Amino acid sequence: MVEHVPSHGFDANAPVVVLVHGSLDRGTSFARVVRRLHDLRVVTYDRRGYHRSRDSAIGPTEAGLSRPSASPSASAFECHVADLLAVVGGRRSVAIGHSLGGDVALGAALEDPGTVRAVGVYEPPLPWTDWWPKRGGRDPSGEDPAKFAESFFRRVVSDEAWERLTEHAREERRADGAALVAEMADLRRGRAPFDLSVLEVPIVLGRGERSIPHHRRAIDALKHSIPDAEVFEIAGASHGAHLTHPDAFAQMVRAVVARAS
């Protein structure tokens, strides 16, 4: 169940802009981006199993947004899609996802194009493709969640960044390991969780100039499947562009909003 759903901005006539975080992340990672979108109504949330959505207790609706009621860990990709649509609550919206959040945003746009009017994805993983790195066939479901979370953080961010974290922050990331393991295992199901050929809404595909090859290739693959997609490349950025290049990431968000109208 999604428990943490802060809303930012005051324009009631604009579409709701929902930012969806990736694996081993949380909604607050978009803070710098949100500050650059003060004229829009922006919603960030912690996906099920992460940070403030780690528990399953049901709380009151916040900021007029609905919340799904389910177990704290999502055992299937479809759970995260359902959560996002519940956060949107039937409002006219756009969804922008970073990394795995991009897959979730795509799933929501495919599920309910009447509500999610445009979608933006920044380097979403495509592990069901035959060219995506398989990392020796490692099965996340057999891993210790805390250790898997630490190794994932070290690999995706850096060893140096992990060492800079306080012990409390490290424990918080390890505590998110169960959610990370569940979604990593599910995405290795061997087939795509959605059919892009039936996408009905405009899409913006974001990537960083300095991102690693398979992250960049993912955008090429999506562009091949969706010829009308707009590609938004962020100069000097890599995978964590929402943290390092918030101005450019905010511009990508605005491009999605523009496509919706």
Residue 104, pLDDT > 90, answer: yes
Hey, what domains does the chain have and what are their CATH numbers? 7-129+191-260 (3.40.50.1820), 135-183 (no CATH)
Q: Does the structure show a pLDDT above 80 at 12?
A: no
Q: Which of 134-148, 192-206, 230-244 has the lowest average pLDDT?
A: 134-148
Residue 58 confidence class, pLDDT cut points 50, 70, 90: very low
Per the document, the length of the chain is 261
Q: Tokens 């389910």 appear where?
A: 70
Per the CB < 8 A criterion, the answer to whether 120 and 94 are in contact is yes
Query: What integer pLDDT is reported at residue 135 of this predicted model?
Result: 66
Give the pLDDT of residue 139: 66
- 240 CB contacts (<8 Å, ≥6 apart)? 157
The pLDDT value recorded for residue 202 is: 97
Whether residue 140 contacts residue 148, with contact meaning beta carbons closer than 8 Å, is answered with yes
Distance CA 36, CA 186 (A): 34
* Nearest of 119, 124, 257, 254 to residue 200 by alpha carbon: 119
pLDDT higher at 64 or 49:
49
Confidence of residue 69 (pLDDT cuts 50, 70, 90): very low
When pLDDT is cut at 50, 70 and 90, the band that residue 70 belongs to is very low
Is the predicted pLDDT of residue 209 greater than 80, yes or no? yes
Q: Output the CA torsion 95→97→103→105 (10° steps).
A: -10
b (16+ CB within 10 A) / e for 201-240: bbbbbbbbeebeebbbbbbebbeeebeebbebebeebbbb
